Structure 1
């Protein structure tokens, strides 16, 4: 089983903007399932805002706070003032599988390094607090084969395990293709064994 089989992710692409000392900071947040998806998102944003002074970015693939698959860039800003505070903010946001790009249009007033760290942190934080959230769930599919007499009793139990029926096949026995959260599988297998008195068959699809 995955160490964290379900966790919050952005529901969809989200964008917001703040202004700091006349510089515009446009933050775009995107759900991503891999490092390559994150890099493609960054490339897309750079193409969308080619005239921006900077398109700084950070991403995290995996559960909230994880460090296994991360990336960041200051995109020409002084080292450490953009990508690192953006990533730190992301890692403390409670979101997983997330990439964000902060696009900066310089407003004519130079910011010191301390102010720049605050500005990029605020830009990331504002977006990550407002982004609509969904849930990433690790699913497992099982094929359950059992006697006809147990169709109704089993059907009554499926909701307990957040279990959906994807397909049904009627031959000499009933065969159901089921989908349920990975974290529910062990409990479901125990219930199924009890319900069928060990006569039913459960295969991973």
Structure 2
């Protein structure tokens, strides 16, 4: 996989920016998404958070920058073509992949017109991009681990040291962890985990 730029946001951490335009409050929320399913789950969480907003318009590019293979957009009740598609256009040309954006609008009583809506929704995405933390995506592997509870904090520190991203965590009789780790650091991470846990770190298949 070639390297490309992605949001430097852990799973479940969002990036936000806000602007008031002609008394309407606009909030853009961005997240890293690696599939349309992740994008839709993120969008739904924002819709619930802002359930009383006038609109929650959205767009996502779940793949590499500029790729239209995994994209989506919605005007969410705004006039057709004034929100979702303009937002998607910005995302497709911003040079960042695996990115979703929801622009929430609380109507302030002044109509913006078709052109004004397009400028507002595109402007909010650009505003979010201006301060969005990004990093280069590396070749990575997904690893499934099982460790004893007492090694949980140790494992989290080692993940950070080896640039691994925690994707899922489940507390059962042991702690089950799913992480995305750079291919070049995976062997070193597994080796030090095995050493620090006295061989009690189990690498599992995705079952």
TM-score bucket (shorter structure): 0.5 to 0.7
Offset at residue 61 of structure 1 (A): 1.2
Aligned to 1:74: 75
Aligned to 1:94: 95
Moved over 6 A (4+): none
Give the structure-1-normalised TM-score: 0.67
**Once the two structures are superposed, what CA deviation does each residue of 1:99-144 show, in whole Å capped at 9, x if it has no partner?**
0000000011011000100000100110012111122222369xxx
What SS does structure 1 have at the residue aligned with 2:26?
A: strand
Instruction: Rate the CA distance shift 1:21–1:140 in 2: closer, same or farther, 3 A.
Output: closer
| Aligned match for 1:6, one of 3, 8, 31 | 3
Does structure 2 retain, via aligned residues, the 8 Å contact 1:15–1:27? yes
Matches within 5 A, 1:56-205: 56-139=57-140, 163-164=184-185, 165-166=187-188
Does structure 2 retain, via aligned residues, the 8 Å contact 1:93–1:129? no
Structure 1, unaligned runs of 5 or more: 142-161, 169-205
Structure of larger gyration radius:
1
What SS does structure 1 have at the residue aligned with 2:108?
A: coil
- Paired residues, what number? 145
Aligned to 1:35: 36
Offset at residue 9 of structure 1 (A): 1.0
Aligned to 2:21: 20
How many Å separate the matches in 2 of 1:53 and 1:140?
41
Does structure 2 retain, via aligned residues, the 8 Å contact 1:90–1:128? no
**Once the two structures are superposed, what CA deviation does each residue of 1:36-82 show, in whole Å capped at 9, x if it has no partner?**
00000000000000000000000001111111110000000000000
Does structure 2 retain, via aligned residues, the 8 Å contact 1:16–1:28? yes
Offset at residue 17 of structure 1 (A): 0.3
RMSD between superposed Cα atoms in Å: 1.6
How many Å separate the matches in 1 of 2:123 and 2:79?
17
How many Å separate the matches in 1 of 2:44 and 2:76?
12
Instruction: Rate the CA distance shift 1:86–1:75 in 2: closer, same or farther, 3 A.
Output: same
What SS does structure 1 have at the residue aligned with 2:109?
A: coil
Aligned to 2:50: 49
